[in-house]
């Protein structure tokens, strides 16, 4: 575990708790595939943030054991469901747990292993397809979900700071697949599985997205309509997806949600919550914010302007970024093509408490633009 400042020790023991923080994250945790009752039971036994990863890992281990037992008894559907929920528990435990990288990485690896066990129980037609895209001497790992209809569009999901392709990437992929879209979710530089081989650098990330599009253009075995490619991203991905769309003219439209589109140099990084400051140094592989600022500083209004249609969401009660309205205003000034801003004044980060409205709206919007 990293050395914590006195301020962090106080915050993680006494401020990060159910009433002040965890309850605001329920929407996100549920999107990982965790049952609400299980969510409440696990959180009830966590004394403070320092025990967060440990307790969720234990829950994931228990579900993993139950999944193996169900499989041995010939109950494949139950086994698959439990392996998926174990992924959700592992992901919840490691999610933004930047204060102990060894514990975080070990739990994240368990999420990947449990996901592999889960998808091995799908039939060939439904099974997510593992794809590794060559990029600057390493591989971008991802999973493709096929709609089953030849000539369907391709939606590429761009992760946030600490998402993984095996959790929300899977649940969202199911939804897009059911609505006629091919869907690709991946871990980019500094994220998930790719973190070990390449750290985050904002100047490189869009090149990774373009490499993915290159790969699909060069590998036509899946019957995807490469004239209809779109991006969607939440949180940090809510900046990376629109930025990548502006820089790659093959992208036909893009959705961003709660994009952190402006940093403001070292002063901006120091204004972030201590959890997110730890995330910046973790993603970039730097020891200090000062060392990370060159890789984690941007202003979307200084990027190449976006010319394709944009649907952008922002949340008025976003606890992740200072001055959330500033980010929404910047995006609207930056985008020069068709653009729509959906501002949820009372929503939490990534409109997590309004996803029952947001996801159907996103899918309908993509249908109008791509199908």
Q: What is the DSSP string of 272-316?
A: S-HHHHHHHHHHHT-SSHHHHTTTS--BGGGSPPP-S-EEEEEET
Is residue 133 domain-shared with residue 237, that is, in the same domain? yes
Is residue 209 domain-shared with residue 327, that is, in the same domain? yes
Is residue 33 domain-shared with residue 114, that is, in the same domain? yes
pLDDT of residue 282: 96
Q: How many domains does the chain have?
A: 2
Is residue 133 domain-shared with residue 247, that is, in the same domain? yes
pLDDT of residue 195: 97
Is residue 13 domain-shared with residue 36, that is, in the same domain? yes
- Where residue 360 falls among pLDDT bands split at 50, 70, 90? very high
> Alpha carbon 86 to chain centroid distance?
18
For 19, 112, 311, the CA distances from 233, given in Å and listed in that order, are 28, 21, 11
Task: Give the pLDDT mean for 344-356.
Answer: 91
Among 213, 280, 281, 216, residue whose Cα is nearest residue 247:
213
Which is higher by pLDDT, 344 or 13?
A: 344
For 192, 259, 274, 296, the CA distances from 281, given in Å and listed in that order, are 15, 19, 11, 9
Task: Give the pLDDT mean for 250-263.
Answer: 96
Q: What is the CATH number of the domain that holds 145?
A: 3.40.50.1820
Is residue 156 domain-shared with residue 11, that is, in the same domain? no
Q: For residues 145 and 127, is the Cβ–Cβ distance under 8 A?
A: no
Q: At what angle do helices 52-72 and 36-44 cross, to 10 degrees?
A: 130
pLDDT of residue 170: 94
d(C-alpha 357, C-alpha 343), whole Å: 13
Domain endpoint, select from 87, 119, 151 = 119
Is residue 106 domain-shared with residue 142, that is, in the same domain? no
Q: Report yes or no on 98 lying in a domain.
A: yes
202 dihedral zone (left: phi>0; alpha: psi -120 to 50; beta): alpha
Q: Report yes or no on 278 lying in a domain.
A: no
Task: Give the pLDDT mean for 297-317.
Answer: 96
Q: What is the CATH number of the domain that holds 17?
A: 1.20.1440.110
d(C-alpha 175, C-alpha 298), whole Å: 32
Assess whether pLDDT exceeds 80 at residue 23: no
d(C-alpha 212, C-alpha 194), whole Å: 14
Residue tagged 């990376």 (tokens):
240
Is residue 96 domain-shared with residue 160, that is, in the same domain? no
Domain endpoint, select from 75, 100, 119 = 119
Predicted confidence (pLDDT) per residue in 141-167, tens digit? 999 999 999 999 999 999 999 999 999
Task: Give the pLDDT mean for 335-354.
Answer: 94
Q: Report yes or no on 276 lying in a domain.
A: no
Task: Give the pLDDT mean for 123-146.
Answer: 97
* Residue 36, both tokens: 């609400």
d(C-alpha 232, C-alpha 226), whole Å: 16
pLDDT of residue 166: 97
Q: With b meaning 16 or more CB within 10 Å and e meaning fewer, what string describes 73-85?
A: eeeeebbbbbbbb
β-pair type (224-234, 152-158): parallel
Q: Report yes or no on 272 lying in a domain.
A: no
Assess whether pLDDT exceeds 80 at residue 15: no
Assess whether pLDDT exceeds 80 at residue 246: yes
- Where residue 1 falls among pLDDT bands split at 50, 70, 90? low
Is residue 229 domain-shared with residue 314, that is, in the same domain? yes
**What percent of the chain has pLDDT above 70?**
99
Q: Report yes or no on 160 lying in a domain.
A: yes
Predicted confidence (pLDDT) per residue in 62-117, tens digit? 999 999 999 999 999 999 999 999 999 999 999 999 999 999 999 999 999 999 99
Assess whether pLDDT exceeds 80 at residue 299: yes
- Where residue 26 falls among pLDDT bands split at 50, 70, 90? confident
Domain endpoint, select from 119, 141, 168 = 119
d(C-alpha 70, C-alpha 353), whole Å: 33
* Residue 187 CB neighbours (<10 A): 25
Q: Report yes or no on 269 lying in a domain.
A: no
Is residue 95 domain-shared with residue 136, that is, in the same domain? no
Is residue 258 domain-shared with residue 209, that is, in the same domain? yes
Q: Report yes or no on 55 lying in a domain.
A: yes
Predicted confidence (pLDDT) per residue in 162-216, tens digit? 999 999 999 999 999 999 999 999 999 999 999 999 999 999 999 999 999 999 9
Q: Report yes or no on 148 lying in a domain.
A: yes
- Domain of 72? 6-119
Is residue 115 domain-shared with residue 208, that is, in the same domain? no
């Amino acid at each position: 575990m990293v050395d914590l400042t006195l301020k962090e020790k106080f915050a993680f023991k006494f401020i990060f708790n159910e009433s002040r923080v965890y309850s605001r994250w329920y929407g996100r945790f549920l999107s990982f595939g965790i049952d609400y009752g299980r969510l409440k039971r696990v959180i009830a036994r966590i004394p403070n943030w320092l025990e967060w990863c440990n307790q969720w890992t234990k829950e994931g281990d228990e579900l993993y054991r139950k999944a193996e037992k169900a499989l041995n008894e010939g109950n494949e559907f139950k086994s698959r469901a439990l392996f998926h929920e174990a992924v959700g528990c592992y992901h919840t435990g490691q999610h933004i747990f930047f204060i102990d990288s060894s514990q975080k990485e070990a739990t994240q690896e368990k999420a990947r292993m449990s996901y592999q066990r889960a998808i091995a129980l799908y039939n060939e037609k439904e099974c997510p397809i593992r794809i590794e895209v060559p990029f600057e001497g390493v591989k971008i790992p991802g999973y493709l979900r096929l709609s089953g209809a030849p000539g369907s569009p391709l939606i590429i999901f761009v992760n946030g700071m600490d998402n993984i392709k095996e959790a929300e990437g899977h649940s969202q992929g199911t939804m897009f697949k059911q609505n006629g879209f091919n869907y690709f979710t991946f871990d980019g530089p500094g994220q998930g599985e790719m973190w070990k081989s390449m750290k985050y650098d904002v100047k490189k990330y869009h090149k990774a997205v373009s490499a993915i599009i290159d790969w699909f253009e060069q590998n036509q075995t899946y019957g995807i309509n490469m004239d209809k490619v779109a991006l969607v991203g939440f949180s940090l991905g809510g900046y990376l997806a629109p930025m990548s769309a502006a820089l790659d003219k093959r992208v036909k439209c893009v959705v961003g949600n709660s994009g952190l589109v402006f940093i403001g140099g070292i002063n901006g990084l120091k204004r972030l919550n201590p959890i997110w400051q730890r995330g910046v140094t973790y993603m970039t592989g730097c020891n200090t914010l000062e060392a990370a600022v060159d890789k984690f500083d941007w202003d979307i209004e200084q990027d190449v302007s976006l010319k394709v249609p944009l649907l952008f969401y922002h949340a008025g009660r976003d606890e992740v970024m200072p001055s959330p309205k500033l980010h929404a205003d910047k995006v609207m000034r930056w985008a020069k093509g068709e653009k729509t801003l959906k501002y949820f004044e009372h929503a939490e980060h990534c409109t997590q408490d309004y996803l029952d409205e947001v996801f159907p709206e996103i899918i309908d919007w993509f249908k109008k633009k791509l199908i």
